[in-house]
Copies of this chain bind each other. A is one copy, B any other.
Amino acid sequence: MSEPALLESAVRRTGAPLCVGIDPIRHRLPAGDDLQVIRDFGVRIVDQLADLVPAVKIQSACYERFGPDGITVRDQLALHASQAGLIVVLDAKRGDIGVSSEHYAASAFSRPSAPADWVTISPYLGADGMQPFLEAGAAFALVRTSNPGGTALQTLLLEDGRTVAHAVADMVHELGEAHLDPDSKWSRLGAVVGATHAAEIAELRERMPKQWFLMPGVGAQGGSASDVAEAFVDGMGVLVNASRSIIYAGDPVKATQDLIQSLREVASL
Q: Which residues in A have some Cβ–Cβ distance to B below 8 Å?
A: 23, 25, 59, 61-62, 64-72, 75, 91, 93-104, 106-107, 110-111, 113-114, 122-129, 142, 145-154, 156-159, 164, 167-168, 171, 221
Contact = CB atoms under 8 A, between A and B. Distances in A.
The 3 A-B residue pairs with the shortest CB-CB distance, nearest first, are A126-B149, A128-B149, A61-B103
Contacts of A145: 97, 124-126, 129
A124 B127 contact: no
29 contacts: A59-B100, A61-B94, A61-B100, A61-B103, A62-B100, A64-B104, A64-B107, A65-B104, A65-B110, A68-B68, A71-B71, A91-B96, A93-B122, A122-B124, A124-B150, A125-B142, A125-B150, A126-B147, A126-B149, A128-B148, A128-B149, A129-B145, A129-B149, A153-B164, A153-B167, A156-B158, A156-B164, A157-B158, A164-B164
Nearest to A142: B124
A108 to B, nearest CB: 9
Contact of A153 (B100, B124, B148, B221): B124
A118 B235 CA distance: 45
Copies held by the complex: 2
A149 B127 CA distance: 5
